[in-house]
Amino acid sequence: MKLANKTAIVTGGGKGIGKEIALALAHEGADVLVAARQSDVLEQTTSEIQALGRRSLFCVTDVSDESQVEKMVNTALDSFGHIDILVNNAGVTGPTAAITNVTRDSWDEVMAINLTGAFLCARAVVPHMIARGSGKIVNISSIAGKMAYALRSPYAASKWGMLGLSCTLAQELGPYNIQVNAICPGPTAGERMTGVIAGRAKEMGRSVEEVERMYVEGTALKRMVDPKHVAAAVVFLCSTDSDSITGEALEVSGGFGL
């Protein structure tokens, strides 16, 4: 197993891409703490990880809250003794609207969770990784962090910001043998993408089917991304196979926008 004797924190690990990431890490031998704002989905993910024979626990956490992030990290340390891997996956989609209709509150919420949350989590775990002389941080950005994304300004700005954060931390933490990378999923099958499509269809006055085709036709592979493929990329970036890779933004997008 590629991650035997490793421990990980996965934020937003209760469902969707985050759950697939947590399960994939556990499948490769890691013990995993999953965090999110809803306890019911966390309980399910934790049970599935334990069924794989790995240690797992959950911590209800709002990553935009500094004190809750500190509690999450301390819970992982108390349970596992150390932290090898941090996956910053927690995020919200935010509004689908022209900028003139985006409220300050909705802008602030997206930034607080998607970007500030990643900063707070990284800041909390880095001292422990430095003390051990190694670590892996993977930030789940988006293909929207590499392109214009009309009607999704808060989301796109937060995902572009995650790439800047990733590159800067990679340079800053490299001397301590800590690799920091980002993954940029494209349109990924699941509940969240279904909601995004519905919101865009409503805003554009088009059918859901038409908007879904727009996303699919925008990919080279002509299909949605499988969340398990995103998880597989995370496993790679958390393994020793990627020890000489840092500051990169890996697209798992089905060739979106080529």
Catalytic residue among 149, 155, 176, 215: 155
With vertex at residue 55, the alpha carbon angle to CA 180 and CA 231, rounded to the nearest 5 degrees, is: 40
Burial of 55 (0-12, 13-18, 19+ CB in 10 A): middle
Residue for token pair 């490769």: 28
Cα-Cα-Cα-Cα dihedral sign, residues 175, 247, 138, 97 = positive
Q: Are 22 and 42 in contact (CB under 8 A)?
A: no
Let me know if 155 is a catalytic residue: yes
d(CA 59, CA 128): 19
CB within 8 A of 248, min separation 6: which ones?
181, 182
d(CA 155, CA 170): 23
| Catalytic site positions | 155
